[in-house]
Amino acid sequence: MAHSYVRFWKVGKLNHMKAYEQTVDWAKFLYDVKSLLTALGADHYIKNDLRSFAASKYMDRSLDNIIAKE
């Protein structure tokens, strides 16, 4: 896996593909990527465009504490 080679991950939304961009559940993507990178112990930063989806049915407002909401 790439996480052993990448020192620092910067994760944001897909840009410049409006048609595809509108089909993505960005809140779920944020939850999934944050959960994975945290579980792997990978250093990472969530960019502001994606961070805006933090308050969702998947996460609490804080990106530090991921909690699955039902």
Q: Is residue 2 pLDDT above 90, yes or no? A: no
Q: Would you tell me how many other CB atoms lie within 10 Å of the CB of residue 55?
A: 12
User: What are the pLDDT digits (tens) for 25-69?
Assistant: 998 999 899 889 988 888 888 898 998 887 766 665 556 555 444
pTM of the model: 0.75
Pairwise pLDDT comparison (65 vs 23), residue with the higher score: 23
Residues near 38 by beta carbon (within 8 Å), at least 6 away in sequence: 66
Q: Is residue 23 pLDDT above 70, yes or no? A: yes
Burial class (CB in 10 A: 0-12, 13-18, 19+), 7: exposed
